[in-house]
């Protein structure tokens, strides 16, 4: 979560921040039944839901801050997880 907006969102950089080898981090995640990709997606979606409920951030700025290449990539990922676009989901929460 702490690295989402800091451009440190790949496995090697996170392992370095934790001061452990990449392979060790992968093994720990596998033992926990998850992957770096899944944790990253979960963190992005949790942050997105919080912003959609609690702030007035523009979708383009939100998607960029979460590390998506563009708004459509963020919207597609959000819809795949939640079944609604970010805007639809946000309207339902208000």
Average pLDDT over all residues of the chain: 90
User: Under a CB-based contact definition with an 8 Å cutoff, are residues 51 and 41 in contact?
Assistant: no
Q: pTM for the full model? A: 0.82
Q: Is the pLDDT of residue 58 over 90?
A: yes
The pLDDT assigned to 6 comes to 58
Average pLDDT over residues 28-43: 93
Judged against a pLDDT cut of 90, whether residue 52 lies above it is answered with yes
- Give domain limits for the chain: 4-93
The CATH number of 4-93 is 1.10.10.60
List pLDDT tens digits, range 6-30. 566 789 988 998 999 999 999 999 9
């Amino acid at each position: 979560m702490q690295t989402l907006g800091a451009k440190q969102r790949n496995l090697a950089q996170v392992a370095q921040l934790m001061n452990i080898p990449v392979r060790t981090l992968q093994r720990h995640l596998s033992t926990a039944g998850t992957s770096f990709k899944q944790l990253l997606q979960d963190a992005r979606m949790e942050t997105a839901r919080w912003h959609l409920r609690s702030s007035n951030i523009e979708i383009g700025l939100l998607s960029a801050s979460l590390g998506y290449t563009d708004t459509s990539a963020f919207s597609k990922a959000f819809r795949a997880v939640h079944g609604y676009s970010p805007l639809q989901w946000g309207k339902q929460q208000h």
